[in-house]
Structure 1
Amino acid sequence: MSVDIGFTDQERQSQLRASLSEEFAVQTARLKELTEITADTGDPSQAHDRAALLAATRQSLEQITGALRRIAEGTYGRCERCETAIPVERLEILPHAKFCVPCQQKHHR
């Protein structure tokens, strides 16, 4: 069952924006910390782990930025592929979701 969140409730939209903005700040600080680490221990696994953390942090920032952009544009909560409402339960778990579950599954095939 899809529920159109439509954001008629300004408080809910404000809380979501604040939560995403806070997470953006946390991830930005994490990215800064990871990029400032210059100590090379010579251990290839540490370099690999750091590279993976950098990539994950950058991806998280892109997802958060996308969600904030969709809120500003008024398209948040709508699937970018089929334009149906994304269930509120999905958005509560994955606030940066761009696709409904069926379209997400098609996207990853």
Structure 2
Amino acid sequence: MSVDHRTVDQRWLADLRASLTDDFATQTARLRELTELNADTGDPSEAHNQAALLAATRRNIEQITGALSRITDGTYGACQKCGKNIPAERLEVLPHARFCVPCQEKHNR
């Protein structure tokens, strides 16, 4: 089953938007916390872990923001590479997915 990005269920989309908005708030708070805790302990591995957490949190925020933008402009559920509908199962697992699986595989190469 695919999500037809042109006729997607508006209630499902509203629920998704609310969920993504909550996730955005959570990730933003996490980023603020990680930034404020950016104390140098002198431990190189701790600095590396901190940098990795900051990068992952920023990436999560970018993905959530992108999904929210696609919902707003009506392109949510369409592959940004080929334009085909992204399967609903993929969007349930990865609500921020920008590509269908074949295009994602090509993108990762």
Q: What are structure 2's unaligned runs of at least 5 residues?
A: none
Percent identity, please.
67
Tell me how far 1:91 sits from its aligned partner.
0.1
Deviation >6 Å, runs of 4+: none
Number of corresponding residues: 109
Matched residue type, 1:32: R
Q: What are structure 1's unaligned runs of at least 5 residues?
A: none
Tell me how far 1:60 sits from its aligned partner.
0.4
Matched residue type, 1:82: C
Contact 2:5 2:74 in 1 (8 A): no
Partner of 1:89: 89
More displaced 10-residue stretch of structure 1: 4-13 or 67-76: 4-13
Partner of 1:27: 27
- 1:38–1:8 distance in 2 versus 1, CA, 3 Å: closer
How many Å separate the matches in 2 of 1:4 and 1:38? 44
Tell me how far 1:93 sits from its aligned partner.
0.1
Tell me how far 1:5 sits from its aligned partner.
4.8
Tell me how far 1:10 sits from its aligned partner.
1.9
Tell me how far 1:4 sits from its aligned partner.
1.8
- 1:7–1:47 distance in 2 versus 1, CA, 3 Å: farther
TM (normalized to structure 1)? 0.94
